[in-house]
Amino acid sequence: MKSKVLAALVATMAVGATCAFAANPFVDVPSDSWAYKSVVELADAGIIQGVDGEHFQGQRNITRYEAAEMVAKAMAHMDKASVEQRALINKLADEFADELNNLGVRVSALENRVGNVKMTGDARVRFIHQDNDDNGNGKIKGDNSWSYRVRLRANAQVNDKTKVTYGISTGNHTFSENGAADEENDIYTDRANVEYNFNKDWSMMVGRYNYKMGGDNSYGFLYGDTFDGAQLQYKGDSFALTGGYGKFKAGEVAGDSEDNIKGVKTGYGEIEGFFGNGSAIGGYYNDFSSGTGFNFDDAWGAYASINLGTNWNALANYEKYNSKSGNQDPEIWVGKLTYGAANFATPKSWDLWVEYLNADDGFGSATSDFVGFTDSWRSDNLLNNVKSWGAGIDYTFAKNAQFQVMQSFTSEAKSGSNDPGEETRAQFVFVF
C-alpha cells in the first residue's frame, strides 16, 4: 500500500481542521501539491507523523500496521468528523480490524458513535432430509430438502441513548418452488424497532424484534422469531428482569395456519441471574391470548446454562403449558451438552454437542405441524409426542463462515406407535 493512496482516502476525512493551518511540517510536500491541504490538516490533527518527523515520503510503500495507526488516530477524532467522514473511517476500521485489535483499539466501539449506520446480515444454504413417520407423513425429500435464506440489517445510532434497527429477510426458499424468480415477492420486514437506553442498565424496545421465549440463554422450544411488541428490561452484571407484550408474527401462531388460529398475543416476564464464568439461570412466564385455534392459556419455564470449565456447557430447560379446558397440559424437558465454541470471528474454531428432548403430546396441530415457530433445529413431528436424541457439530472453516450438521437418532413416540422419522440437517451459514 502506498502512502499516496492512503492520502487520497484521507483527503476527504481530514478531521479537526481549522481556518488557519499550521506550518507545513514536511519539507518534501510542496505548497502547490494536490495533497498539501490534507497532509497539513492531518499532521496538525496528529493523525500522521511522516517518516522521521521531517519527510512525508508520499511515494513510499507503507505497511498495514502503519496504515492502521493512522486509522486509529482518525478514530480518536470521530467527534469532529462529518457523516461522510465517519462512513469512510468506519470502512477503513473494518479493513484494518485485525491490526487495530493488535494496537488495542476496539473497533466495536464505533457501533456506538452517533451518526453511524452499520450494515450487517447473514446468508444460509440448507439441506434437510426428514424420513416418514410410521403413517407415511412428515417427509422432507427431493427438491424440498434444499433451501436458502438471506437477511440484511441496518443498525443506526441516532444519539448516545437511541438506536434504530431495520431488517429484511427473504424467508426460506426451497428448490421445489416453481415459477419465475420475479414471482417470488415474499421479501418482508422482520426487524423494525427503536431501542432507548435510559442508562447502562435500563432499556426499552418498541417495534418489531426477535423474541425467543425464555430469553437468549434458553432453548426456545415454542418460539424464537419475529415479534411485534414492546419490551422493558433491566440488565445488570449479575441480574436481569424483562417484561413485554406483543404479537407473534411467524409460524402458525401468527394466524396463518390451516387450523384457523388467530394471531396469538402474549405478555411475558423473565428473571435471570448471571455468574462470573458465563453461566446463567432463569425463570419465565407467558400469558397467551387468542380468539380461536390456540390451545394454551399460559406457560412457565425455567432453565440453567452452566459452564463447566473452559470448554464445556450444560443446558437444562423445562416448560409447562396450561391448556384451555378439556385439552392436554403438555410438558417438555430438554438437556444439551456442548464441548468447544464455534465462533464466526475465529477460523478453525468448532464445537460438538448432544441433546435429549422429551416433549408430551399436545404441541402439534390438527395437521401434525408444530404450533409455534421454534428456535430448535428440529422439524414438526420431532417436537410433539416424542422422545429423541440429537447430535451435531459446528465448524468455522473461514472467517464469518460456518458449516453445521445436525442429526436426530433413537426417536420414538411417547404414546401410540406412530414413531417419527429421523432428521438430517446440514447447512452453510455466512455472516457479514
What pLDDT, on a 0 to 100 scale, did the predictor assign at position 415? Answer: 87
pLDDT in tens, 153-186: 999 988 889 999 999 999 888 887 777 776 666 8
How many other C-beta atoms can be found within 10 angstroms of the C-beta atom of residue 324? Answer: 11
Look at residue 183 and give its three-state secondary structure. helix
% of the chain exceeding 90 in pLDDT: 49
What pLDDT, on a 0 to 100 scale, did the predictor assign at position 20? Answer: 45
* Mean pLDDT, rounded, for 247-252: 90
d(C-alpha 83, C-alpha 91), whole Å: 12
Contact 412, 386 (CB under 8 A): yes
pLDDT in tens, 191-248: 999 999 999 899 999 999 999 999 999 999 999 999 999 999 999 989 999 999 999 9
Q: Domain 117-431 sits in which CATH superfamily?
A: Porin (2.40.160.10)
Alpha helices by DSSP H, 261-411? none
Quote the distance between the C-alpha of residue 72 and its chain's center: 27
Of the candidates 192, 312, 212, the one whose C-alpha atom is nearest the C-alpha of residue 266 is 212
Long-range contacts of the stretch 258-262 (C-beta < 8 A, 24+): 258/365, 258/366, 258/367, 259/293, 259/365, 259/366, 259/367, 260/292, 260/293, 261/290, 261/292, 261/293, 261/294, 261/365, 261/371, 262/290, 262/291, 262/292, 262/293, 262/294
Of the candidates 159, 163, 166, the one whose C-alpha atom is nearest the C-alpha of residue 204 is 163
Q: Is the pLDDT of residue 368 over 70?
A: no
pLDDT band at 345 (very low <50, low <70, confident <90, very high): confident
Choose between 259 and 22: higher pLDDT.
259
* Mean pLDDT, rounded, for 10-39: 53
pLDDT in tens, 262-318: 789 999 999 999 997 889 999 999 999 976 778 899 999 999 999 998 899 999 999
Q: Cell numbers 459446528 correspond to what residue?
A: 394
d(C-alpha 39, C-alpha 222), whole Å: 59
Contact 266, 249 (CB under 8 A): no
Q: Is the pLDDT of residue 4 over 50?
A: no
Written as one letter, the residue type at 35 is A
d(C-alpha 90, C-alpha 114), whole Å: 12
d(C-alpha 199, C-alpha 234), whole Å: 10
Q: Read off the C-alpha cell for 346.
A: 475465529
Q: Cell numbers 441471574 correspond to what residue?
A: 273
d(C-alpha 144, C-alpha 129), whole Å: 9
What pLDDT, on a 0 to 100 scale, did the predictor assign at position 217? Answer: 93
What pLDDT, on a 0 to 100 scale, did the predictor assign at position 51? Answer: 54
pTM of the model: 0.73
Residues of the chain with CATH 2.40.160.10: 117-431
